[in-house]
Amino acid sequence: MASSHRVHGALILVSVIFGTLPATSKAIMGNGGVDPFSYAFIRVAITSCILLVVYRVFLYERVRSLRDYGLMALCGFYGIVINVTYFFIGVDHTSSINASVLMMNIPVFTLVLALLGAQERFAWYKVAAIPVSFLGVGILIGVENFSMSDDDALGIFFIIVNTFSFSGFLVISRPLMKEYRPSTVTTWTFAFAALMMVPLGMVGLQTTDAAGIEGLTWTLIMYVILFPTIVTYFLNNWALKRAESSMVALYIYIQPLVAGILAVSLLDEEITLRLMIGGILIFAGVAIATIGETRIRRARMSPG
């Protein structure tokens, strides 16, 4: 059993890597000229091929029932097909600020679904941690800039479905993590998702000149496949095997903070009061959940 420090470290690394995805994807679809559906299909199809080869050669584990195959297919549908395509469509129709604000719903949706599914018990620290970190992210990204035009409404709808879908993925995949290795669940999740995305991919590829995609764009696509996709999904599933769904979801609040820190370190932007206050509140929320979970675990392990 991995220590809690390794679990939290893995989730922080997921947030750091995944925090680079929006800018990279914008470069691929914008400057690179790749259609969103083509990009989503290429990303998932190549990822699934890589994972299947590694799984069959090095990490093979037999899936023991058709029911488990069905659950992995649901993980692929909610965690990848809906999650990826609806996010791209949503961002195309609304601002990045709106998308960032709406993404804060993932921990809320995850906790509600986990409680309704009797996967987790109600605990004060889970409820208290979310609004504290939520407030921190709101201050950090500027929730007052949230906008609502006709086109925004369509984008907002897709982003909300995207966040609810990813929350469902976290809850559905949690029982599978108790039965299988993270590599097994990750591989089959992507394999099923790739099959489901073939129709969308065929439509998108008709409008994309694959031969005309520049080398730099392909380099960015491979970066997205290897790091914000394979590495993050594997580490996320690895953490789900060792932590509750609501705890894993809570770490999404760190991503805007990572983006702010990267802007300061790489783009020479200034450290603002907004960044400091938002960062403190985000970590305070994560700390509330972590300390609360640790105390409950120790209380259960103590004799008598």
Give burial (CB, 10 Å; 0-12/13-18/19+) of 153.
Answer: exposed
Residues 6+ apart with CB under 8 A from 283: 136, 257
* Phi, psi (rounded to 5 degrees) for 169: -60, -45
- Helix axis angle, 83-93 relative to 21-29, nearest 10°? 70
* Phi, psi (rounded to 5 degrees) for 146: -60, 130
Please check whether residue 19 is in contact with residue 262, taking contact to mean a CB–CB distance below 8 angstroms: yes
Tokens of 39: 């990009």
DSSP, res 20: T
Handedness of CA 103, 266, 39, 77 (dihedral sign): negative
Residues 6+ apart with CB under 8 A from 100: 137, 141, 256
By residue count, the chain amounts to 304
First to last CA, the chain: 24
Tell me, what's the pLDDT at 184?
95
CB atoms within 10 A of CB 127: 16
Tell me, what's the pLDDT at 190?
96
Q: Which residue has the tokens 């993404």?
A: 103
Tell me, what's the pLDDT at 221?
92
Tell me, what's the pLDDT at 1?
43
Strands (E), 43-112: none
Q: CA distances (Å), 203 to each of 72, 221, 263, 301, in order?
A: 25, 19, 36, 55
Q: Report the candidate in 71, 121, 117, 111 with the shortest Cα–Cα distance to residue 252.
A: 111
Please check whether residue 25 is in contact with residue 220, taking contact to mean a CB–CB distance below 8 angstroms: no
Map residue 262 onto helix, strand or coil.
helix
What are the residue boundaries of the structural domains of the chain, listed by start?
Answer: 4-301
Tell me, what's the pLDDT at 304?
47
Tens-digit pLDDT string for the chain (304 aa): 446 778 888 988 988 888 777 778 777 877 777 887 888 899 999 999 999 999 999 989 999 999 999 999 999 999 999 988 888 777 777 666 666 666 767 777 777 777 777 666 667 666 777 677 667 666 666 655 555 566 567 777 888 888 889 888 988 998 898 899 999 999 999 999 999 999 888 887 777 777 778 888 899 999 999 998 999 989 988 988 888 787 787 777 777 666 666 666 655 556 667 767 776 777 677 777 666 666 665 555 555 4
Residues 6+ apart with CB under 8 A from 171: 110, 113, 114, 117, 119, 245
Q: Which residue has the tokens 């939520």?
A: 134
Residues 6+ apart with CB under 8 A from 304: none
Map residue 174 onto helix, strand or coil.
helix
Tokens of 180: 């299988």
DSSP, res 149: -
| Structural element, H or E, at residue 31 | none
